[in-house]
C-alpha cells in the first residue's frame, strides 16, 4: 500500500444531524495517512462545535472556521490549507465505506493515474439505497481520450485527485453545480484515470434538494453556464466526440429551461444569456454529423423556441 498523504476536504454547513457519521467514516478508513480538513462555513447550528470536539478524538483532524461563503468557497479554503499529495472531497452529509481511500490511492499509485474514481451509492433517511453511478465492477484504466468517459459523472466527491491538477483551478464562488464547472479541466490535465469498481461513496439524497425532482428553478442557469464552459473548453481543445457531446448537453439544458422554468422579470437576463450560450452549441452541431432529426430540433430551438417546447 502506498503511503502518500491524502487531504480529505469536508465543507461543513448546518449538518449537525449527519456530520458525526461522515467524520467517523473518515477516521475509520483503512488507509491511515490522511488529514481530515473540516471547513466550518459559518454554521449557525451545532456543526462548528461538533467539528471542534473531533479535534480531541484524532490528531489527523484539522478544523477551519470561516465566514459563510458557500460550498465552493469552503472547498477552495480547504485546498489552501491542504498538505496532501492527493485531494479527496466529501460532502458533510455523506460518508465513505472504510476501504474507499485505500482503493483510490492504490489504483492511482499502481497505475500512474492522476485521478481515481469509485462508484456512488445513493441512500435515503429511511434506510433504503440505490445505485447512482456504477460504471464498472472491477478496476479499469482509461487512457487517452477514453478518460473523458468520466464526464458523465462530474462529481469530485467520488474521486481522488493528484494535487497538481488543481494548480490554477478553483471552484466557482456561489455557484450551484460547482463540480460541472471544473471537472472537465481536471480531467484534461490528467493523463490517465482509474475506475476502481468499488462502491465507495455513499451520498444522501433528500427531497427538496437541488437535485430532486420537484422541477427546475433559476439555479438551473448555473448548470447551463457550467455546460457551456465545458463545451467551449472541449471544442477549443479538440476533444472529440466529447466536445460535441457537451454541446448536445447544452442544447438539452437550454431546452429544459425553456420548457420548465417560468419566465419573469427576475430571470429575463438569465434566459438571454442562456440562449447566447446555446448559439455556440448550435453553430458547432449544425455543421457536425448529428442526425437530421437532431438538426431539426436545433433549428426549432433557435428560431421557434415556443414550438420546440411544445413538441419536445
**182-191 per-position pLDDT tens digit:** 999 999 999 9
Q: What is the mean pLDDT of the chain?
A: 95
Q: What is the pLDDT of residues 264-280, one digit of tens each?
A: 999 999 999 999 999 99
Cα distance between residue 171 and residue 74, in whole Å: 9
Cα distance between residue 242 and residue 148, in whole Å: 7
pLDDT at residue 1, rounded to an integer: 56
* DSSP track, 121-183: EEE-TTS-EEEEE-S-SS-EEEEGGGGGGGGGS--STTEEEEGGGGTT--PPTT-SSHHHHHH
pTM tops 0.75, yes or no: yes
pLDDT at residue 212, rounded to an integer: 43
Q: What is the pLDDT of residues 98-151, one digit of tens each?
A: 999 999 999 999 999 999 999 999 999 988 999 999 999 999 999 999 999 999
**Residue 275, all three cell numbers:** 440562449
Is residue 31 scored above 80 in pLDDT?
yes
pLDDT (average), residues 22-41: 98
Q: 299 to each of 4, 17, 31, 62, 283, how far by Cα in Å?
A: 52, 49, 53, 53, 10
pLDDT at residue 107, rounded to an integer: 98
Q: What are phi and psi of 245, to 5 degrees?
A: -60, -40
Is residue 215 scored above 80 in pLDDT?
no
Amino acid at each position: 500500500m502506498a503511503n502518500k498523504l491524502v487531504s480529505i476536504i469536508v465543507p461543513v454547513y448546518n449538518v449537525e444531524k449527519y456530520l458525526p457519521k461522515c467524520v467517523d467514516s473518515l477516521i475509520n478508513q483503512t488507509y491511515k495517512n490522511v488529514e481530515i480538513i473540516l471547513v466550518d462555513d459559518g454554521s449557525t447550528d451545532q456543526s462548528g462545535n461538533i467539528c471542534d470536539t473531533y479535534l480531541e478524538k484524532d490528531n489527523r483532524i484539522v478544523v477551519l472556521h470561516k465566514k459563510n461563503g458557500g460550498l465552493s468557497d469552503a472547498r477552495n479554503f480547504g485546498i489552501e490549507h491542504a498538505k496532501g499529495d492527493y485531494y479527496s472531497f466529501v460532502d458533510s452529509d455523506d460518508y465513505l465505506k472504510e476501504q474507499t481511500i485505500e482503493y483510490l490511492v492504490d489504483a492511482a499509485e499502481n497505475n500512474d493515474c492522476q485521478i481515481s474514481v469509485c462508484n456512488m451509492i445513493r441512500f435515503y433517511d429511511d434506510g433504503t439505497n440505490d445505485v447512482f453511478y456504477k460504471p464498472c465492477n472491477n478496476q479499469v484504466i482509461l487512457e487517452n481520450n477514453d478518460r473523458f468517459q468520466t464526464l458523465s459523472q462530474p462529481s469530485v466527491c467520488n474521486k481522488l485527485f493528484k494535487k497538481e491538477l488543481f494548480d490554477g483551478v478553483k471552484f466557482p464562488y456561489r455557484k450551484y453545480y460547482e463540480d460541472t464547472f471544473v471537472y472537465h479541466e481536471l480531467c484534461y490535465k490528467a493523463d490517465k484515470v482509474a475506475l476502481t469498481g468499488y462502491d465507495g461513496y455513499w451520498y444522501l439524497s433528500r427531497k427538496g434538494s437541488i437535485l430532486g425532482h420537484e422541477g427546475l428553478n433559476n439555479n438551473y442557469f448555473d448548470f447551463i453556464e457550467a455546460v457551456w464552459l465545458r463545451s467551449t473548453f472541449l471544442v477549443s481543445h479538440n476533444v472529440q466526440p466529447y466536445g460535441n457531446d457537451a454541446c448536445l448537453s447544452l442544447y438539452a439544458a437550454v431546452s429544459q429551461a425553456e420548457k420548465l422554468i417560468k419566465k419573469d422579470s427576475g430571470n429575463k437576463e438569465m434566459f438571454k444569456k442562456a440562449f447566447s450560450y446555446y448559439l455556440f452549441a448550435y453553430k458547432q452541431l449544425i455543421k457536425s454529423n448529428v442526425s437530421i432529426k437532431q438538426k431539426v430540433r436545433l433549428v426549432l430551438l433557435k428560431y421557434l423556441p415556443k414550438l420546440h417546447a411544445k413538441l419536445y
